[in-house]
Structure 1
Amino acid sequence: MTLFEIISFGVRDIIEIALVAYLLFQLYRLMRGTIAVQIAVGLGALFLVQVVVELANMTMLSTIFSYFNQVFVLAVIIIFQPEIRRLLLLLGKNPIVRRFVNTTDQSQIVNETVTAVEQMAERQIGALIAFQRSTGLRSYIETGKMLQAEVSHDLLITLFHGQNPLHDGAVIVNDRRIEAARCILPVSTSMKLSPQLGLRHRAAVGLTEQTDAFVVVVSEETGNISVSRDGALISNITPDELRTYLTNALTNQSATADSTVEPTTA
């Protein structure tokens, strides 16, 4: 085998390198700002130590590392389970396929939601509304009280009223129906989020870190409207901006309002 044959590569190799680089970049984006980065650094340090041990031909340490290698893959899966889940979810989103899927008219649910959110913001009624998209939310729906009701602004306001026993937790909407209220959502542990954020905002981000749901939040303290998607929080938006974001989310369109409001963690 000649030197040229060893170092030569074709289009397939370029595509493979590009795919690996893309996957590593997406994995870094998912892990950035979380404790998983520190764990990854620790695992990388252990790997370097193992390389040194093998080069130095240290028999006892090599034996110890060989036992560690047997459970290494399982340990990585367990430790990085949230990040792996989010990465697989990202890879599972196929915009080409979505173009061939018929979407129902969501104008009514958008109008009812925006009307309810606007009124709750004015009255400083805290709210947390999650909209299911391609990822099923059954495990979260089952933690709440089943309703199976049509979406209306009056019902949403009533559910989040302080005197209502269902006001705590989230309302989950799927296919133009309120599936359940008082649902428990996962709370984000991302270090990128402001420590001033309450549980509602952290729960909104937590759900969108693990699924492709779209979540609307109304702050009880300030009345500010926020939305969360893809693990990002967009704060202090107007009802018109909410209408745009929600319409895009429910019709699986590209978020054309991205340039209107920048994501923030404040």
Structure 2
Amino acid sequence: MAPLASPVPRLDASVVDPATVAYLRDLVGALQGKCFHLACENQLTGAATDDLFRLRPEPTLLHGVPAVVASAIKTLEGLLRKCASQALIAYARHEVRLKRSLHEEKLAAAMADLESLDEVVVDQYDVFRATRAQVQAARHAKQRILHQIAAVVDSPDGSVEALASLLPRLGRAHETEAELEMSLWRTIHNFDILAWHTEIAKARVEAAEAALQVYPVLPDYWPDADAQLVRDAAARFEESEGVLRRFMAP
């Protein structure tokens, strides 16, 4: 059976410096509901006004604070003060690794979107070339019909029946040409839209590349030494935070 934890005395504000009392009350409030990882996040990403130790008296005034509580305070400060904590540095390296991995995924997704657009542009260009060829063929076909009509009209032997058969063909050829030209115009318009989307995709790639450069390259794995350091620190944090919370309980 594990030994029972030593009882923690309650704060006697009459024997502790008022600045220290204010500091400890603020620290307990700031740590409320936070595990070690969230406390690290607070220290690494929060503003100066969010620093857990912003009210810490300098030098620390622990006169009147029981030894077990003073030890817990010093442990918390040693674990989470930005200027002194190896555990916080190890956690920060891990955060850099995770954030770089996240930004690498964002860059890969942005590049995939750009490559997908490039494929669409290539496909659209194939459609454009095919449609342009169809337009040219339709124009040639219409021109041949016009030549046939002219030959009938100019020929002394031209007949009304021959002309009557050619005119509907000319109408259909004209409609076909118009439809294909409209299709060609839509293809050209699609190029303008694709160019706009491509510029946006390129900008996203550039932004993702710039965001990635903020984070240095670290090994993909979390080194055992760092992992163990953070695990040990988390256990010490839980114990010390509990001591301080009981000491400051109303």
Q: Where on the TM-score scale, by shorter chain, does this alignment land: which range?
A: under 0.3
User: If each structure's helix is expressed as a fraction of its own residues, which one has the higher value?
Assistant: 2
Structure 2 length as normaliser, TM-score?
0.20
Bigger-Rg structure (1/2): 2
Structure 1 length as normaliser, TM-score?
0.19
User: If each structure's strand is expressed as a fraction of its own residues, which one has the higher value?
Assistant: 1
Higher RCO (C-alpha under 8 Å, 6+ residues apart) = 2
